[in-house]
Structure 1
């Protein structure tokens, strides 16, 4: 594909995802999404849980914790803003892919209308397109993160067993401490 066309397509994908996720992220922070605790619509507050739709249950659950709303909204805004800059676009994609994966699964499970799901899938596909256009950079980054220097094998096998035993012991200690806290603080 022509380099200039690829550049324009990537830029359009980045800007499109930025604008829409900026709107969604801001909406979360400004109270435009979710039924917030203390601000439930009367028809939701007065309906038995068993009679609520999946959407209403999900929207109420997601709105229960303002801290969670802040986390999701700020994460969406951060990832979206990182898409705007050449040096940070891949970091933005890597932040947004798990967020959009969660949104897609959430919408598939809880919603009975699929407009929001279609939009989330489109944003996800646009992020994959950005990764595709940057596949060489991504490949280098993965190789850099996963490169392991080859060592002679005779001594290495004994060292690996020793390391595995020490790590297993440390994991056992960490697990024990964790369980003490879980039991003290409750499940």
Structure 2
């Protein structure tokens, strides 16, 4: 593409909006040290938009494990507003400029590397597998109707480490292709296909990463936009097409040629090699030895403040102490709808179990400490406090069950469908 080409008005407006919208969404990459400052600035903007547009005095729930909070949606409203106004102002100020080829060139590189880093990140946690983990005893004993849509999706993915590996490998390959200029289009096509599927799963299984996955999909679409005509001619019209033309930046400069190689190497070292090592190291905990207290339990006696009450809606009826992937999890349930998950650490020497609420905000570091004892291999006793309440629990391990889901396995030959 010649740097003397004249852009149309629609081309300019589309570029301005894309630059501002995607830039505001993903800045400060790669300047991660500015992340805290950007969060503070966005908090001010989000509170302002919430108050002015919807009359919300303050948005109290800040970004957390969910990426689809009120805060996030207000942020998107602000970004769309800024991008729209900014595009109009930018067009007026640059109306006599024929194009922005050089800026578009560098912007495309920034998008490629951000998308590549993200694809590597999401791919590696599936390869090992850490994102979905394994099916826990809690899931095996849980009724299907008690699962959330997201829980059902996570269970589906957790069943097969092979499928997790395949999905993660495709994401890593797509990200790897984006790093190199000649394979960018192929990487963008592959990444767009993956992200479309991810976005649809997030929508239809109510996974709270809908905004982020959709913006990643838009990023793929932007990278493909310049090749839209060529792709149409080749794949749809069945006609020949020419190779892509690109603006030449620092053509013939040795420092630029070798600098690109150095930067690509550093990027692959940080995102690829270090990411691989971190996930590999974390994955070692998946097969770490488990204490004898792990297992599914039926509560035989539950006391709160030295009182036993069958009508206490907070009483525990089932307790599952398990490991999901590389992370220890404790689940408690009862027939009144209690479904609570907690992280825990175990001191097997002092017989102490320390729990933290899995769903608690990041700023909430409250720990609930219990002492435990095992009169025999099948019995577990817990004693401690939850807030101001003293809790005592006596429970028995549930009998081992040979679940079809975990025992059926894979078969090349199926004389009849085994669909139960």
TM-score, normalisation: structure 1: 0.70
Q: Deviation string for 1:41-70 (max 9, x for gaps)? A: x54344211111111111010121122111
Greater length-normalized contact order (CA 8 Å, ≥ 6 residues apart): 1
3-state secondary structure, aligned to 2:181: coil
Structure 1 residue 105 corresponds to structure 2 residue 194: no
3-state secondary structure, aligned to 1:147: coil
What is the match of residue 132 of structure 2? 34
CA contact (8 A) 2:127 2:166 kept: no
Q: Deviation string for 1:6-56 (max 9, x for gaps)? A: 11121111111111111000011122211424xx2x543442111111111
3-state secondary structure, aligned to 1:87: helix
Give 1:82-161 correspondences, 5 Å limit: 82-111=177-206, 114=208, 116-135=209-228, 137-139=230-232, 141-142=234-235, 146-147=238-239
Distance 2:187 2:118 in 1: 14
Distance 1:51 1:99 in 2: 29
Distance 2:102 2:233 in 1: 22
Q: Show structure 1 runs of 5+ residues with no match.
A: 149-183
CA contact (8 A) 1:10 1:133 kept: no
Going from structure 1 to structure 2, the CA distance change for 1:53 and 1:88 (only over 3 Å counts) comes to same
Structure 1 residue 57 corresponds to structure 2 residue 152: yes
3-state secondary structure, aligned to 1:70: helix
What is the match of residue 10 of structure 1? 108
Distance 2:112 2:238 in 1: 27
CA-CA distance at 1:139 after TM superposition: 4.9
3-state secondary structure, aligned to 1:146: coil
Relative to its length, the structure with more strand (as a share) is 2
CA contact (8 A) 1:29 1:69 kept: yes
Q: Show structure 2 runs of 5+ residues with no match.
A: 1-98, 241-413
Distance 1:132 1:92 in 2: 13
3-state secondary structure, aligned to 1:88: helix
Q: Deviation string for 1:102-128 (max 9, x for gaps)? A: 1111110112x53x1111111110011
CA contact (8 A) 1:6 1:133 kept: no
CA RMSD of aligned residues (A): 2.4
Bigger CA radius of gyration: 2
What is the match of residue 80 of structure 1? 175
What is the match of residue 13 of structure 2? none
What is the count of residue pairs matched by the alignment? Answer: 147
**Structure 1 runs of 4+ off > 2 angstroms?**
42-47, 133-143, 184-187
